[in-house]
């Protein structure tokens, strides 16, 4: 797929208008996963505006975002950084052989206490 289509697809799937961002940084200030992100939520918004999709697709942050929606809640400009991060993650896992977790990895990770909800959630996020 041509890069230009990939970028416009990701922007469209994200369902948020990143051009409205005024760079206040409140999203990253509120993010509970901030310390575990290489590219921060406010940087996702800026980089997608600049069209740097490749860099975002290689970031660690797409796997550590908790989808907790705290950034969305705090944005004074109605931008949804979490939706940008999810759209980029989807762009990665929708590729062939690009799932972050696979069914065969699961038995080694689980014990008697793990709720089904956790497994289904992680699969929905990390596997297509």
Partner 1 sequence: MRFSYYPGCTLKTKAKELNNYALKCVEALGLDVKEIEEWQCCGAVYPQARDEIATKLSAVRTLNYAKGEDGKLLTLCSACHNVLKRVNEDMISDANVRLKANNYLQLEEEYAGETEVIHYLEMLRDYVGWDNLKAKVVNPLKGVKIGAYYGCLLLRPSKVMAFDNPENPTIIEDFIKAIGATPVVYPYRNECCGAYVSLDEPAISKKKSNAILDSASANGADMVITACPLCMYNLKHMGDSVVDVKYFTEILAEALGVKED
If binding means CB under 8 A, how many residues of this protein chain bind partner 1? 38
Tokens of 108: 């080694």
Closer to partner 1 by CB, 39 or 86: give it: 86
What is d(CA 99, CA 77) in angstroms, rounded to the nearest whole number?
A: 33
**The tokens 């980089």 sit on which residue?**
47
Tokens representing residue 61 in the block = 């942050």
Q: Does 61 bind partner 1 (CB under 8 A)?
A: no
14 interacts with partner 1 by CB under 8 A: yes
Neighbours of 42 (CB within 10 A): 21
The answer to the question of residue 63 lying near partner 1 (CB under 8 A) is yes
Shortest reach from residue 96's CB to partner 1, in Å: 18
Q: CA 108 to CA 90: how far, in whole Å?
A: 25
Candidate ranges 20-28, 44-52, 109-117; the one touching partner 1 (CB under 8 A): 109-117
34 binds partner 1 (CB under 8 A): no
């Amino acid at each position: 797929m041509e890069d230009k289509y990939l970028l416009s697809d990701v922007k469209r799937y994200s369902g948020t208008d990143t051009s409205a961002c005024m760079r206040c940084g409140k999203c990253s200030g509120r993010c509970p996963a901030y310390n575990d992100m290489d590219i921060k939520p406010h940087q996702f918004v800026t980089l997608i505006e600049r069209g740097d999709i490749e860099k975002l697709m290689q970031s660690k942050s797409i796997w550590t975002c908790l989808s907790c929606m705290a950034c969305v809640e705090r944005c004074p400009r109605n931008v949804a950084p979490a939706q940008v991060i999810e759209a980029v993650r989807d762009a990665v896992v929708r590729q062939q052989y690009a799932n972050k977790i696979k069914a065969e990895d699961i038995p080694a990770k689980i014990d008697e206490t793990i709720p089904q909800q956790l497994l289904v959630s992680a699969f929905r996020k990390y596997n297509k």
